[in-house]
Amino acid sequence: MKTQHAETVRSLVRDILDKMTLPASVAIEEPVFPLQGEFVCQISTAEGSNLLIGQRGLNLEALQTIVRASARRKLEGWADFSIDVNSYWKEKAEALFAEAREAETKASTEKTPVILRPMTPFERKCVHLALADSTMVATESSGTGEHRKVVVKPKGNA
């Protein structure tokens, strides 16, 4: 992890939170799963977490997009990090990995494709990542826009 990059990102997030008048602490943490990049900028707050996270994490995705754009300007194009609020993404990823394993078991046992609910790009990436090394199933995305889903298929039908 590049300390200068981490400190720049932490400072950008701190400035945004100050402008929003949201009391929160901002810490840099090691990533716990591959989609998080080189580090996680973890925001901890007792109030305002719903505002920062939004429905299905959409506000948090937007905040990350804004901070990444700012970081790219300040750090000559580099922006390999993620932002989390009260470990929302970490807990979401853990739940998605469990959901993916359940779908894997069902698809391989029943020998039929399992179609998961519509998911955000992050959610779909988690499912694909969770099952990437599976010997029993393959995954693919289908649908468009906010109706895009992951289909978990037994390997014989993939």
- How many angstroms separate the first and last alpha carbons of the chain? 38
Strand partners of residue 82? 40
pLDDT of residue 47: 85
pLDDT digits (tens, 9 = 90+) for 110-144: 999 999 999 988 899 999 999 999 999 999 999 99
- C-alpha distances (whole Å) from 110 to each of 102, 105, 106, 107, 147 are 12, 8, 6, 5, 25
Whole-structure pTM value: 0.80
Per the CB < 8 A criterion, the answer to whether 45 and 88 are in contact is no
Alpha helices by DSSP H, listed for the chain, are 3-19, 49-53, 58-74, 88-110, 121-131
